[in-house]
Structures are given as structure tokens and as C-alpha cells.
Amino acid sequence: MDLFELPDQMAYGLIETVDESGTPDGVVRLECQFNPTDLTVRKSVVWSGGSAGENHTPGRNAPDLDFGGGKPTTFSLNLLFDTTREPLMVDRDVRQYTDQLLRLTLMRSSGGKVLPPPLVSFQWGRLLLFKAVVTDVSITYIMFHSNGLPARARAEVQFTQQDPADDETAYQNPTTRTEARKTRVVQAGDRLDLIAYQEYGNSALWRELAAANHLSNPHDLVQGTVLVIPLLH
């Protein structure tokens, strides 16, 4: 996963919503009050092989493995937000920051269509990570003002890659660029018929989604899987 360097533009980390080209769309722009102390990036791939007794070759202790593709890269941040030092005349409720994180997990509507949660980017000075979706947010309020409003909070945020920029097949095979492909990340509770209704306005088109994604069991969607949403003509 490439990390792109940009000129120094800001001292603090910035989480903001972007469109598919990576351009900020202004829906959420959250500058971190305190930079994270660590940044964990995780990438895993699928290798599979026959079990004992299958494809056995004499003299071998284990079968050859077949590459089954890559899983989306993830990264996680631990953030701190604090309003205890803000002037008394301003809103000192720390949820003015944490609620923006929660917005990154919510479905939206545009032009009468229901859309999945937005794409986001994380930039920290010269560090810019891949486009992603927020798959998990955990917020703990750890201090309160005398009127009961939360004053300080810790937030744990999990991001999952939704960016084909590091997919070599996109560059090696020019036919992959002839027609734009839409993708979306499976969320908890998703079903193919629900996704078909959200994308096409017709739940009966779930079969096209199943075929495009080579799903043998359309009821067995795994959270975090990237689905191809084909264009229907």
C-alpha cells in the first residue's frame, strides 16, 4: 500500500469525506485536536490448500497453496477530543466532534436515492492514506462538565480500504478502464435484495449482483467484503 507524500499543509490529522476521485465533498471535515500516538495499518490475503489426504504428493508435508485474492487493507486510529479549555461562551459539548465520526457510518439520501455511508480520507501533514470507509467507531466519554455535558472523549475508529489504486490489474489490463465499476463494502445486516433495491430501485435484481460477484450463496454476505455493483443496461 503506497503512502503518498504531499507538501506540509497542516499540523494535525484531518478526516474528511471525499468523492470517488478523492476530492473533498464538504460533508464532514474533522480536524483532530490531538494527533494520534500510533497508526496501525493491516493487510491480509487469502491462501488456501487441500486438507490432509487431498492432493497429497508423496514426500511433501503440506500441499501447494492457491492464492485466493487480497482482503481490503485496514487502518485504525485512537483519537482524543477535549473541550475543557474552550471559552465558556462557546459550545463546550465534546459531541460536536464525536458526532461527526458517527456521521461517517450513516447512510445518506441524494436525489431520492438511498446511498451507503461516504468515502473518507485521512491526511496528516505529508501523510495521505488510501480512500476508505469507516467500519467501526467506539466512543468513550471520560469527563463531564458540571451541567452534565460530556467534556472529553476517546474515540477508536476503524477504516477499511475502498480504493482500487493499488490493484495492478487495473493498470495491466486496459479493458478494465473501458467501463466504470461501482463498488461498496458490505455492512452488518446487508442483504443482496436490500442492496439491489438501494442501487437499482428493484430488489429482484439481486441475482445480477450474485452473478457479478460469483456468490454461490447469496444469503451469506461477509461484513467488510467489497461487492462489485455492475452497470445494468
pLDDT tens digit string along 131-155?
999 999 999 999 998 888 999 999 9
Joined grid coordinates for residue 69: 485474492
Question: In this predicted structure, what is the pLDDT of residue 102?
Answer: 95
Distance separating the N- and C-terminal Cα atoms of the chain: 34
Fold designation for 179-229: Membrane-bound Lytic Murein Transglycosylase D; Chain A (3.10.350)
Instruction: State percent of the chain over pLDDT 70.
Output: 80
Cα–Cα distance, 191 to 221 (Å, whole number): 7
| Per-residue pLDDT reduced to its tens digit, 34-61 | 988 888 899 998 887 755 555 555 666 7
State the pLDDT confidence band at 10, using cuts at 50, 70 and 90: very low
- Using the predicted structure, report yes or no on whether residue 170 has a pLDDT greater than 50: no
Q: Global pTM?
A: 0.63
Residues 6+ apart with CB under 8 A from 136: 156, 157, 158
- For residue range 188-227, what is the model confidence (pLDDT) as tens digits? 888 888 888 888 888 888 888 888 878 877 777 888 777 8
Amino acid type, 82: D
Dist. CA 106–CA 114, nearest whole Å: 11
Number of H-type helices and E-type strands within the chain: 4, 15
Whether residue 160 has pLDDT greater than 80: yes
Would you say residue 128 has pLDDT above 80? yes
Q: Boundaries of CATH 3.10.350.10 in the chain?
A: 179-229
3-state DSSP assignment of residue 90: coil
